[in-house]
């Protein structure tokens, strides 16, 4: 049984049999942090059977550092040790109310089992007598009462620069995956730092039975852009995705640069180069990547991560950007969502870890799924827009209705681009109900508009006088059947939208494109049999239904529908 009396090097050493006198070796180590020194000393002290502690207010000769009070907090908050609940006497020559006035560390003196003795009034002999009686009593310490009374602030610049939640999430999520040994620096900091000990007691980690890694559904490339990737986040994601990386269904890479020495523009430029080279399906993107991002005056849309998000969406809107953030500011979510962010991984130090990991899995799976269909469609969309933009659309010769004029060709050029973009935007906007089918309706409208432009319709289908001519040369529009027969239909024969498209293609190219016509056929069938019937939009063949039930089929059909229109546009001569 040891009644430990801590002294500092300015105090005259007391010699008696009751107290075991110790000095905390603060001066032996110039480079370690105070919390590390105190933590190590406490673990060393735990080897003896400590039954009481008598501690000066300060362990150094600087009365205002209150290191003794800090030490007392460590004792109470270090759950590894046997003596955390022993009676503690804090001694000093200040009056009690003066200490309370000087520092919030003094709140510990208001907790059960911790006592203050003013050594201007009492001798160590009296402290000894008090402790002799005290150690015979049941322990008075209550963690609940302790936590209610004290308030430990995070180290000054953790509030911004090194987010507490960021480090805690890294540790807790890594613990869950049992890969925390790969982040020794973070682990040591979190186990020795007083604030993190306090945080851990306030937010105890729920015991996780099985933190085994997940197998993520889907395939693709994931790029991590995080200034702390090397600090442990890359290791965390590597472990989370290990099974997929091993079976080569997922490739993980990170932007491997020294973020600290780079300017915002440098980081942005290097991120763009990396994205163009690696061609990710998902980018896990941190918003604050360089020192200037941590300035209190920086606007959210000036953050380096935000700028990179804008660039990613210019490269390919289908790349899924998941923002990894410890921010609790709602405007960050709103703004980045508006700029095209597709998901969020929120780093919170006090959340349910199993749920967090499950959410990350869902975000990544959903991201891979969405990138699978959005990325190729966006690439083709871009080239079709480029083609259409440069296409020399002949001026419409016959103006046959009140809705059109001489500027029809100029308007059509703009309208097609508009509808192409809108069909993609609708496709990717999961907040819109039935957005897959709606995007197909917009897409289909493009071929209807092109039909209306190239083909003049005269007569009336009701009295069977309808007939069709090309605007370019007034020649008859042929009917091209599914099996490739070409014939000039008799007057009164109605041509469907897809038949008109086949005819335009034939007129401009002089041949039949079976594969394209098949796709146009499929698109038309979907439009006619599902899309225009609201009651059928969730039935078996609908895109909405297939997305969840048979993603491969969904993707195949969707790519075919879009490429039908893209290929048709690209074929216009």
Partner 1 sequence: MKRMILIEDRVQRQLNFINQKKLFDEFPNLKNICGDKDYSVIKNLLSNKEFEAVFNEYQVIAIHRSALSTEERNKLIEYCKAKGKSLVFFSGGISSALLRKLNNSNLLTINSKDFYSENLFEFLKQGNEDLRLLAFGVKWELCLLIKLKDKLAIYVNNFMNDNIEFQELKAELNIGEWEIEIFKENIENLNDDTILQPSSLINVLSSLNKKIKSKIYE
* Position 193 contacts partner 1 (CB under 8 A): yes
Per CB under 8 A, which region of 57-65, 74-82, 248-256, 317-325 contacts partner 1? 57-65
21 sits near partner 1 (criterion: CB under 8 A): no
Q: Report how many residues bind partner 1 under the rule CB under 8 A.
A: 53
23 is a site residue for partner 1 (CB under 8 A): no
Q: Please tell me whether residue 123 binds partner 1 under the rule CB under 8 A.
A: yes
Is residue 292 within the footprint of partner 1 (CB under 8 A)? yes
The DSSP bridge partners found for residue 325 are: 346
Q: Parallel, antiparallel, or unpaired for β 50-56 and 88-92?
A: parallel
Measure the CA–CA gap between 573 and 571, rounded to whole angstroms: 6
Question: What would the 3-class secondary structure string for 27-78 be?
Answer: CCCCCCCHHHHHHHHHHHHCCCCEEEEEEECCCCCCHHHCHHHHHHHHHHHC
| Distance, CA of 175 to CA of 236 (rounded, Å) | 10
Q: Least separation, in Å, of the C-beta of 37 and partner 1? A: 9
Binding region for partner 1 (CB under 8 A) out of 158-166, 357-365, 399-407, 415-423:
158-166
In 3D space, the residue among 563, 572, 573, 468 whose CA is nearest the CA of residue 520 turns out to be 563
- The separation between the first and the last C-alpha atoms of the chain, rounded to the nearest angstrom, is 96
Q: Does 162 bind partner 1 (CB under 8 A)?
A: yes
Cβ-based nearer residue to partner 1, 31 or 392: 31
Q: If binding is defined by CB under 8 A, does position 191 make contact with partner 1?
A: no
161 is a contact residue toward partner 1 (CB under 8 A): yes
Binding residue for partner 1 (CB under 8 A) from 23, 51, 94, 512?
Answer: 94
Which of 21, 23, 102, 245 lies at the binding interface for partner 1 (CB under 8 A)? 102
Closer to partner 1 by CB, 60 or 563: give it. 60
Strand partners, 92: 118
Whichever of 101 and 539 has its CB closer to partner 1, that residue is 101
Q: Rounded distance, CA 427 to CA 433, Å?
A: 10
166 scored as a contact of partner 1 (CB under 8 A):
no
Say how many C-beta atoms besides its own lie within 10 A of residue 135's C-beta.
14
164 binds partner 1 per the rule CB under 8 A: no
Stretch that binds partner 1, among 60-68, 492-500, 503-511, 549-557 (CB under 8 A): 60-68
350 binds partner 1 (CB under 8 A): no
Binding test (CB under 8 A) with partner 1, winner from 19, 124, 233, 344: 124
> With binding defined as CB under 8 A, does residue 26 bind partner 1?
yes
Strands (E), 281-428: 282-286, 320-325, 343-346
Sheet holding 114-118, edge to edge: 19-23, 2-7, 50-56, 88-92, 114-118
Site string for partner 1, 251-290 (x = CB under 8 A): ---------xx----------------------------x
Please answer whether residues 78 and 32 qualify as being in contact, where contact means their C-beta atoms are separated by less than 8 angstroms. no
Of 191-199, 239-247, 273-281, 478-486: span binding partner 1 (CB under 8 A): 191-199
What are the angstrom distances between the C-alpha of 252 and each of 224, 242, 258, 271, 288?
Answer: 8, 10, 19, 15, 21
Alpha carbons 237 and 360: distance in angstroms, whole number: 10
CA distance 117 to 225: 54
Least CB distance to partner 1 at residue 237 (A): 24
- Residue 70 in the binding site for partner 1 (CB under 8 A): yes
Q: How far apart are the C-alpha atoms of 347 and 320, rounded to whole Å?
A: 19
405 binds partner 1 (CB under 8 A): no
Residues of span 460-479 touching partner 1 by CB under 8 A: none
The binding site for partner 1 (CB under 8 A) comprises 10-12, 14, 26-27, 30-31, 33-35, 56, 60-65, 67, 70, 92-95, 98, 101-102, 119-125, 155-158, 161-162, 189, 193-195, 260-261, 290-292, 294-297
């Amino acid at each position: 049984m040891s009644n430990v009396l801590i002294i500092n090097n300015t105090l005259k050493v007391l010699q008696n049999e009751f107290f075991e006198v110790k000095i905390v070796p603060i001066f032996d180590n110039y480079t370690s942090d105070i919390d590390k020194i105190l933590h190590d000393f406490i673990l060393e002290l735990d080897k003896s059977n400590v039954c009481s502690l008598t501690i000066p207010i300060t362990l150094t000769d600087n009365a205002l550092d209150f290191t003794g009070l800090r030490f007392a907090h460590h004792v109470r908050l270090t759950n590894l040790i046997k003596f955390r609940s022993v009676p503690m006497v804090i001694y000093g020559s200040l009056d009690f109310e003066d200490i309370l006035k000087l520092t919030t560390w003094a709140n510990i003196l208001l907790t059960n089992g911790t006592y203050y003795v003013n050594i201007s009034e009492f001798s160590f002999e009296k402290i000894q007598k008090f402790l002799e009686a005290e150690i015979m009593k049941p322990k008075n310490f209550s963690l609940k009462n302790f936590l209610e009374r004290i308030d430990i602030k995070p180290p000054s610049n953790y509030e911004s620069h090194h987010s507490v939640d960021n480090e805690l999430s890294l540790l807790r999520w890594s613990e869950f995956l049992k890969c925390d040994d790969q982040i020794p620096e973070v682990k040591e900091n979190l186990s020795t730092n007083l604030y993190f000990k306090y945080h851990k007691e306030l937010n105890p980690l729920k015991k996780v039975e099985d933190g085994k890694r997940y197998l993520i559904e889907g395939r693709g490339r994931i790029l991590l852009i995080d200034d702390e990737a090397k600090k442990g986040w890359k290791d965390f994601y590597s472990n989370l995705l290990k099974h997929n990386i091993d079976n080569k269904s997922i490739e993980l890479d990170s932007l491997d640069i020294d973020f600290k020495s780079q300017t915002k523009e440098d980081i942005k430029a290097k991120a763009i180069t990396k994205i163009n080279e690696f061609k990710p399906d998902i980018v896990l993107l941190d918003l604050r990547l360089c020192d200037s991002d941590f300035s209190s005056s920086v606007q959210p849309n000036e953050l380096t991560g935000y700028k990179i998000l804008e660039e990613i969406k210019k490269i390919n809107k289908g790349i899924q950007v998941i923002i990894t953030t410890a921010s609790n500011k709602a405007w960050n979510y709103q703004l980045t969502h508006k700029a095209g962010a597709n998901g969020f991984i929120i780093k919170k130090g006090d959340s349910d870890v199993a749920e967090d990991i499950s959410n990350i899995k869902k975000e990544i799976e959903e991201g891979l799924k969405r990138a699978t269909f959005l990325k190729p469609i966006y690439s083709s969309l871009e080239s079709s827009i480029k083609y259409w933009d440069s296409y020399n659309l002949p001026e419409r010769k016959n103006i046959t209705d009140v809705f059109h004029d001489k500027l029809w060709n100029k308007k059509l050029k703009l309208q097609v681009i508009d509808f192409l973009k809108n069909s993609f935007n609708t496709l990717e906007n999961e907040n819109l109900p039935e957005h897959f089918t709606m995007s197909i309706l917009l897409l289909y409208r493009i071929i209807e508009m092109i039909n209306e432009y190239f083909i003049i319709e005269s007569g009336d289908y009701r009295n069977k006088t309808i007939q069709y001519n090309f605007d370019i040369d007034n020649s008859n529009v042929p009917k091209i059947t599914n099996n490739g027969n070409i014939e000039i239909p008799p007057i009164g024969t109605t041509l469907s939208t897809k038949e008109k498209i086949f005819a335009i293609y034939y007129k401009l190219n002089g041949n039949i494109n079976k594969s394209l016509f098949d796709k146009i056929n499929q698109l038309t069938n979907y439009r006619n049999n599902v899309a225009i019937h609201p009651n059928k939009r969730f039935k078996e063949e609908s895109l909405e239904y297939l997305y969840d039930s048979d993603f491969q089929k969904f993707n195949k059909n969707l790519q075919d529908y879009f490429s039908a229109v893209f290929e048709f546009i690209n074929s216009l001569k």
